[in-house]
Amino acid sequence: MNRYGQQAKDHWQRTMPARVRDLDDPEQFFTTMGEELEAAIEELARTLAGPTPTGEPYLTRVQRLNTARFEAEGQVLRGMLLTVG
């Protein structure tokens, strides 16, 4: 299970323990959820980062990519929290 699956599992256990208990295979459920979240974050981060500008300095590129990743994580994880419940 990746970190996104673990975060989802922790959140569900705090906010919806009965739903977690009702899952047939919680480990597989949160493993799959984590993989789906990771894929969504990767896709959104690429979109937010956009193409590499010609001549972009290395550190500027790293900052742009990190910012896009951070924003994508926030959007996707907030979306997950808002749609579950």
The verdict on pTM exceeding 0.95 is no
Predicted pLDDT at 80: 79
Cβ neighbourhood burial of 5 (10 Å; 0-12, 13-18, 19+): buried
pLDDT in tens, the chain (85 residues): 999 999 999 999 999 999 999 999 999 999 999 999 999 999 999 999 999 999 999 999 999 999 999 999 999 999 877 666 5
